Amino acid sequence: MLNNNSNENNINLDMPNDIFRNPNPSKSLPLWQKFALFFGGSVGLYILSFICSIILLKMAGMENGPNFSGIATFITYGALFIALLGVLNKNIIKVSKDHIIPNLFIGFGIGFGMIVVPIIYSVIISLFRTPAVSENEAALRSFLVIYPFPSILVLGIVGPICEELTYRVGLFNLFKKWKWLAYIISSLIFAFMHFGFDSPDLVNEFINLPIYLFCGFSLAFAYDFFGFWGSVAAHTFNNLYSVIMVLLSHSLGLLE
């Protein structure tokens, strides 16, 4: 009887639960694809933004402002999304091939934490300094209220997918052999890509920097343990919440 129980235990130990054991197939992409995703999603974003700005300002005759920023952002992220999928090519299936349903729900939970922790941080900061949004968030708000529905699609869904392909599938995987370094570098670069270096209030940018560092680390954790869909769910949940709250605040007259 004891021997039978022992054998059953051994069998159970050798049979991993596929729901909780996430192989994360996107980590096995070729090195050149990981680099291309990071380079294309970071540097390529600025190149596409510059080209789009030239076209809209010079050829279309648009004036700089919220309308221009909104249209430029939508076109830029649309082009970037197509470009990143082009880099993946046949490996799109590999990136998206994991346990979608459980990882989505876990990702939503991580995304909820990405909302709650910054709120608590902002409340603490408000005890010592008048609250102020970052340059990045202020720019997003300026045209979000003008183009609400396209903003939900681009800022809430397309943008997060592009950033997950860039900073997690691309950048994080470049350092996957040194896990601690992957977390540090991907979190730092993600945070400083949202930093307003040209802001007139750099103190405020540095005050908001820990929020982006926390979000970068949370998304790296979600990707590392729960795959591409885990980090996409967390990122999308966080962004959609921000977009909806801005639109709701504006409709209630609470946002200038």
- Per-residue pLDDT of 121-142, as tens digits, reads 999 999 988 867 766 676 677 7
49-58, 92-101, 129-138, 140-149, range with the lowest pLDDT: 129-138
Burial of 102 (0-12, 13-18, 19+ CB in 10 A): middle
pLDDT at 25: 80
Model confidence pLDDT, tens digit, residues 170-217: 999 999 889 999 999 999 999 999 888 887 888 888 999 999 999 999
Model confidence pLDDT, tens digit, residues 24-38: 788 889 999 999 999
pLDDT of residue 256 exceeding 90, the answer is no
Tell me the two tokens of residue 189. Answer: 């670069």
Q: Is the dihedral of CA 175, 177, 180, 183 positive or negative?
A: positive
Inter-residue contact 121 to 211 (CB < 8 Å): yes
Tell me the two tokens of residue 86. Answer: 């082009």
Give 119-123 contacts, CB < 8 A, sequence gap 24+. Answer: 121/210, 121/211, 121/214, 122/211
Closest CA to 40 of 90, 107, 85, 75: 85
Closest CA to 38 of 78, 87, 77, 75: 87
Half-sphere exposure of 145 (CA within 13 A, CB side): 18
The number of beta carbons lying within 10 Å of the beta carbon of residue 207 is 18
Inter-residue contact 228 to 169 (CB < 8 Å): yes
